[in-house]
Amino acid sequence: MATLTVWKFDTPDGAQRAEEALSKLQKQELVQILDAATVSWEEGKKKPKTRQATNMLANGVLGGMFWGLLFGVIFFIPLIGLVVGAAGGALAGSMIDVGIDDDFIGSVREKVTPGTSALFVLTTGVVLDRVHESLREQGIRGELIETNLSSDQEANLRRMLEEEDSAAPA
């Protein structure tokens, strides 16, 4: 079963530091990272910067379209308002199919604000307590927001990604 975790940090560079630390933990086999992305929101900016963490992986499982969709639902669609209308509802609905519900989206939206950053990671076989302890030992303090994906939700996510791959130009 895959786990999607979000680690929120109180500085715009905290997610980058955590990404580097998780890469080391992966080499120690404390975590198996399937894909990851970061959000960094500088104080005074209207919206955050997002980046897929391709340096951690040969090929991310989720791909840029998934992260773009997730970050759009969390950070950008609320800013667009009524212009998006039903399309925004369809985007949010597709996230529910893969286990990312309104509570999770609302929690991330509320906590990741200007002056903060977040690391989004899809993992398997992770021992969260050991990972969290290791990050603390390295002076990386963050708040863990977690959502586990059921087997059905993981299958829906893989199906969604396969559809994304088949729709992508060759």
pLDDT of 79 above 80: no
Cβ atoms < 10 Å from Cβ of 52: 19
Which pLDDT score is estimated for 158?
Answer: 64
The DSSP bridge partners found for residue 50 are: 39
- Judge contact between 117 and 41, C-beta under 8 A: yes
The pTM of this model reads 0.76
In three-state secondary structure terms, 44 is coil
Q: Closest by alpha carbon to 122, among 66, 79, 77?
A: 66
User: What tokens were used for 15?
Assistant: 């997610």
Tokens of 61: 């499982």
Which among 11-25, 62-76, 141-155 has the top mean pLDDT?
Answer: 11-25
Question: Higher confidence at residue 128 or residue 96?
Answer: 128
Run of H or E including 6: strand 2-9
Handedness of CA 55, 57, 62, 98 (dihedral sign): negative
Distances 121 to 11, 19, 67, 109, 118 between C-alpha atoms, Å: 18, 9, 11, 16, 10
pLDDT digits (tens, 9 = 90+) for 103-137: 888 888 899 999 999 998 888 777 777 788 888 88
Question: Shortest CA distance to 101 belongs to which of 35, 149, 169?
Answer: 149
Q: Among residues of the chain, what percentage have pLDDT more than 90?
A: 16
Q: Confirm if 10 and 115 have CB atoms less than 8 A apart.
A: yes
Tell me the per-residue pLDDT of 39-70, one tens digit each, with 9 for 90 and over.
999 999 988 998 887 655 545 555 666 777 77
